[in-house]
Each structure stands twice: as structure tokens, then as C-alpha cells.
Amino acid sequence: MKGLQIFEFENQDVRVRIDEAGNPWWVARDVCDVLGYSNARDAVNNHVRIKHRDAVAIPDAMGRNQLTSVISEPGLYSLVLRSKLPSAVRFQDWVTEEVLPAIRKHSAYLTPQKIEEVLCNPDTIIRLATDLKKEREQRLRLASKVREDAPKVIFAESVSASHTSILVGDLAKLLRQNGIQMGQNRLFDWLRRRGYLIKSGSSRNMPTQRAMELGLFEIKERTINNPDGSVRITRTPKVTGKGQIYFANIFLNEVSA
């Protein structure tokens, strides 16, 4: 990675490394401090996918290289979307509207000091200002889209991280909590109409053969001992982790359409 750059957001330093492809990698601790996370390591482990985090050597105050956790741009957005601080929106706007356009266009953040260095060349300033205005407009559109899609992104990531099967009613609750109006009965009806659950008979609401072959459901059996000594077996369909991702994609695509 290239040299370390230090930006300032509301009197807090935010360090970033630019890799050889020109992509910024943000120091996780700095981002977590700005966004109000008390434990940077837990925040990164819980909210940032492995492919969006790394560790690089960064000099400390005494000039010694220390292995430091960094996150990519998608990883940064994951932390922004989950932050409870009102300033998170301002931080996102600052990143998308000022820092990233400057980095991608000029390989650096144009601080007042850097601008002063090139003041002797007015043509350069005019060109940079024109380019940044265009990119600012593009970033404004992107930032608006990010905020609009935030609930869907959070829901999709939380579902994709799930390895536990859940009841159909619980899946309905997840959908409802993330802006998709879907109750338990309505979801059962939807699954039957789409051919994922059996429509009638003694196996009503059990997964169809196709749904089982796709790995969308599993059946949990429970043995109940009746007072008269007889044994009764109940069967309950549960949506697998794969099924949660599958159905989430369907509903999110329908909402986005």
C-alpha cells in the first residue's frame, strides 16, 4: 500500500491508506471512534465481512510499524449504516462527497495546505474545481442511493450471516422489521402459492420436494409422550440459512422493482 494520509472530520483524525489500485483502506479504530463504537475490534468482527478488512503496518507516534486493522470502502459503509450517532450521516456525506472524489481523481485529499501549494497555478485550480464539482454531483446521487438502500443492505447482510434455521413466523418478523409488510399467515400463503409448501392434506404447510431439494427448508421432528403412554411425533418446517438468503433476495428484488 502507498503512504498514509490523515484527514480530519469534525476535529477527529481519520487515517487512510491507498492501495496500488487506488482504493482507500480506512484505519478501523479511527472510523469506529468517529461513529461511536466503544470496541473497534468487536464492531469490525461483527459488522464487516472478512473480504472487506485487512491488517497493514502503520507507523505509531514513535515511528515504529504496528500491525493495524483497516477496512475497505464497503466495510466503512457497513459501520456507518449501523452507527447510532446522528453524525454518522454527516460522516458518510463527508466521505462520499469530499474525500473519495478527491482520492480517486487526484490520489490525495485536497486539504487547505495542499491547495495553497498549487495556488501559483490558477489554471490547475480551475480544472480541479470543475472536476470536483462534477464528482460532487455524482457523489450526492450515490449518497442518496446508499441511504435509500440502507435497510435492504443491513437485512441482506444479516440474513446472509445466519447459519441457524428459523421458523416461518420468524422470517416474517425479519421481513416486517426491514420494511417488507409480511405477516406469518400471509407468508405461509405466499409460500404455498409459490410451490414451496404443500397446499393441502395431512402434509399441509410441509416443504415440497422441490423446496427440500433446493435446501430451503429442514423439518424438525419432536417426540411427545402423551399421558396415556402413547407417543406422538410433531413435524415443524424451518427455513434454513440458505433459504433465508433465497427468500430475502426474492423479496428485496420485488421491493426494488
- Distances from the Cα of 66 to the Cα of 37, 63, 75, angstroms: 22, 9, 21
Q: Are residues 156 and 204 in the same domain?
A: no
pTM: 0.43
Sign of CA dihedral 35, 163, 176, 141: positive
Q: Exposed, middle or buried: residue 146 (CB in 10 Å: 0-12, 13-18, 19+)? A: middle
Task: Please check whether residues 180 and 144 belong to one and the same domain.
Answer: no
Residue bearing the bigger pLDDT, 33 or 111 = 33
> Does residue 76 sit in the same domain as residue 127?
yes
170 and 143 assigned to the same domain? no
Looking at residue 146, its pLDDT comes to: 52
Same domain, 50 and 102: yes
Whether residues 103 and 173 share a domain: the answer is no
Q: What is the pLDDT of residues 149-206, one digit of tens each?
A: 554 554 555 554 455 789 999 888 888 876 778 889 999 999 999 999 999 998 999 9
Least confident of 29-33, 57-61, 75-79, 221-225: 57-61
The answer to whether residues 153 and 135 belong to one domain is yes
DSSP state of 100: H
* 83 and 149 part of one domain: yes
Give the pLDDT confidence of 105-122 residue by residue, as tens digits: 655 445 555 555 555 555
How many Å apart are CA 239 and CA 170, to the nearest integer?
9
CA distances from 86 to 38, 52, 99 (A): 16, 24, 20
Q: What is the pLDDT of residue 257?
A: 46
Residues 141, 20 share a domain: yes
Q: Are residues 41 and 95 in the same domain?
A: yes
Same domain for 194 and 153: no
Q: Give the span between the Cα atoms of 98 and 90, in whole angstroms.
A: 11
**Is 147's pLDDT higher than 80?**
no
- Is 155 in contact with 168 (CB distance < 8 Å)? no
Model pLDDT, residue 246? 84
Q: Which residue, 139, 160, 181, sits at the end of a domain?
A: 160
Number of domains in the chain: 2
* Shared-domain flag, residues 123 and 240: no
Instruction: Give mean pLDDT, residues 30-41.
Output: 90
Query: Looking at this protein, which amino acid is placed at residue 22?
Result: G
Q: How many C-beta atoms surround the C-beta of residue 25 within 10 A?
A: 23
pLDDT above 50 for 1: no
CB 34 within 8 A of CB 26: no
* pLDDT on residue 209: 95
Q: Determine contact, residues 221/214, Cβ cutoff 8 Å.
A: no
Residue 122 CA from chain centroid, whole number: 42
Over residues 2-20, the pLDDT tens digits come to 567 888 888 888 888 887 7
Beta carbons of 70 and 26 less than 8 angstroms apart? yes
d(CA 198, CA 181): 23
- 172 close to 187: Cβ distance less than 8 angstroms: yes
Domain limit, last residue, from 117, 140, 160: 160
- Return the C-alpha cell found at 167: 421458523
Range of the domain at 208: 166-256
Given 160, 191, 222, the domain boundary residue is 160
